[in-house]
Structure 1
Amino acid sequence: MSVQNYGNVSLNLRVYATDGINNPDGSFALLSGDTKPTDVGSWIALAQENVTIPAGKQLLIPYTITIPAGADPGDHVGGIVASNELPTKPGKVNTLLVFRRTGVRLYLRVRGQLRSNLSTEAFRVSYDGGLNTANGKVRVRFRIVNLGNVRQAGTYRLTVKGAFGTGKHDLGEEVFPELLPGQSIEVAKDVRGVPALFVAKASVTVTPKAGGDEAASQPTRRSAQTFAPPLLPLLIVAVLLAFLVVWRIVRRYRNLDDSDGNVIDGNPGGDSGSNEQESVLA
């Protein structure tokens, strides 16, 4: 590996090998310098780990790769990094250390049976309609995982719709970056314009990109649905039901008051009839 110092002062570097990973958004990254590698990064031995490169000079750093017996077949990805630690306030108590890293990627394939296998996991759908029943928002979250042993890129196609196919949105094919074996990418999409008709549905189809030596796995499809309540109509119905219940309660008490008044007015009439009957008998 060759490292060039383009500055006008000498450069102290720590050189180390490590494993490759994917960030949550799918971009390529390497493990931090304080994380011990367990894959191809641990197979690399460097001739020097701490070097000083004079200003304007170039240094060649030899390295060897020893593949262990029984290594898993497939792709193993890592990198060799040259890291420089630079204090922002030399000699001060409150000093912030800035780490600058540069490096090269390393792609290694171990012979054996190759497997292409992309999986869609943690597929979740939720609905946020608010009071506007015609312009609800569907939130879709899922993860694409590379369960195979080769690097794998591909596309996904997301479709969202309401009940009876209303407000259908086809977002078209979107490309996701190359995933290393065992790595994944998180996908989050918000889709507006889905009416609140009690049900909102979403489905995604993940299609692997054909590789070189290995056959691409078949497309996979996942779907889910969620409750999409029409809040404004339900609120109106709830208010009307509450009004109806209050009206019936009030009406019932009024009927009870009228019934009590009729009983009181009828008692004197009943007593007068009895007196008249007693006079006739006398």
Structure 2
Amino acid sequence: MPFRTRAAVTVAAVAAAAVLLNSAPAAARPAAAPAAPGWSAAPSGADRAYFYLEGAPGTAMTDRLAVGNPSDRAVTVRLRGDGARDGAGAWLLFGAAEVTVPPRTRATVPFTVTVPRDASSGDHPGTIVATGPGAPGARFRVPVRLRVTGPALSALTVERVSVRRRGSAAVIRYTLVNRGNTVLRPRLAVRADGLFGPLLRRPGRALPVTLLPGAQVDRTETWPDPPALDAVDVRLTATAAGGAHDAATAGYTAVPWGAAAPALLLAAGGGWAVVRRRRRAGRADPAAVGPDGEVPGAVTEAADAGTGANSGTGTGTCARTGTRTGTRTGSGVRA
């Protein structure tokens, strides 16, 4: 009986393991990827991932977009240009804004890019967007890299730099602006210097940013361990290909409130004490004035017909010697 029990348990364990092994791949199998829309859009002719066009201001350049339909039913695809107002996307004109492609067929759609006569030289990229049937939002985006010939100017500026405390860290905010006519991929270096020497040295590194001509982007840098008490100058230096270079500095004063509050209160208390002493020194003591307005210890004078005599007596209390008494008499003739 014990042998049969152990055999039964073993068989049950093997069966359970087999079930788990068979179900594990199904549980671990990733979800199926969305089905392809069944059609495609790409530059016609040679194997190209994007269009490249180059010409002077006032030039009209043409190329062709291929729309393929390998399915067994016709598809209708809509075409449009996308991009900045002064880029290829805005200067695109298609031979047909909508094309219907028969089953198992490839159609080519011509388009023209007309560069305005006042267009600045440099890069003016855009995108062709093809939207058709399939999953919601099924579309293809084909880049158009347009370069207008003429002097190229690479210019980059760093603007609106600020440093703010956030918890135990500091956040450096800044804006990069492309002031030239070429596409820029900037690099940024960060340094911070305090009263007693360098605090942060972050060498130049490529940013995940592509700036079109005239474009700008707001970014932040995190400084995880800023000083708790110091006056700091934070300097950002941005560079890019073509000689683009700029730097900007922002001041940052780190003063913890817990350390500053006692000093401020002490300074305020000392100032108020000085003010009170000065006010008291400018007022007479009412207790020292007699009922007739005379102050004890003052000298009185009398004069008649050119002859005068003066006498005075007084008593006073000195904080240093105790009680003081004295008598002064005199006479004189005044002219």
1:123 matched residue in structure 2: 161
1:70 matched residue in structure 2: 118
- Structure 1 or 2: larger helix share? 1
1:194-213 deviations in Å (ceiling 9; x for gaps): 11224233111112223xxx
Could you tell me which of 169, 173, 178 is aligned with 1:137? Answer: 169
Which structure 1 segments of 5+ residues have no match?
A: 21-36, 89-97, 131-135, 211-215, 249-282
Residue 148 of structure 1, CA deviation: 0.3
Q: Distance in 2 between matches of 1:102 and 1:18?
A: 12
* Aligned Cα root-mean-square deviation (Å): 3.0
1:226 matched residue in structure 2: 252
Amino acid at match of 1:110: V
Q: Distance in 2 between matches of 1:172 and 1:7?
A: 53
CA contact (8 A) 2:156 2:176 kept: yes
1:193 matched residue in structure 2: 225
Could you tell me which of 72, 75, 78 is aligned with 1:14? Answer: 78
Could you tell me which of 202, 212, 220 is aligned with 1:171? Answer: 202
CA contact (8 A) 1:76 1:107 kept: yes
2:239 matched residue in structure 1: 207
CA contact (8 A) 1:15 1:82 kept: yes
Q: Distance in 2 between matches of 1:53 and 1:235?
A: 77
Amino acid at match of 2:248: R
| Aligned sequence identity (%) | 26
Residue correspondences, number: 205
CA contact (8 A) 1:160 1:191 kept: no
Q: TM-score, normalised by structure 1?
A: 0.62
After TM superposition, the structure 1 = structure 2 runs for residues 52-131 of structure 1, keeping only pairs within 5 Å, are 52-54=100-102, 57-84=105-132, 98-128=136-166
1:41 matched residue in structure 2: 89
Q: Distance in 2 between matches of 1:12 and 1:163?
A: 68
Q: Distance in 1 between matches of 2:139 and 2:231?
A: 50
1:24 matched residue in structure 2: none
Residue 190 of structure 1, CA deviation: 1.5
> In the superposition, relative to structure 1, how do residues 77 and 139 fare at CA in structure 2: closer, same or farther (>3 Å)?
same
Q: Distance in 1 between matches of 2:230 and 2:80?
A: 56
Q: Higher Cα Rg: structure 1 or 2?
A: 2
Which structure 2 segments of 5+ residues have no match?
A: 1-64, 274-335
2:284 matched residue in structure 1: none
Q: Distance in 2 between matches of 1:5 and 1:200?
A: 63
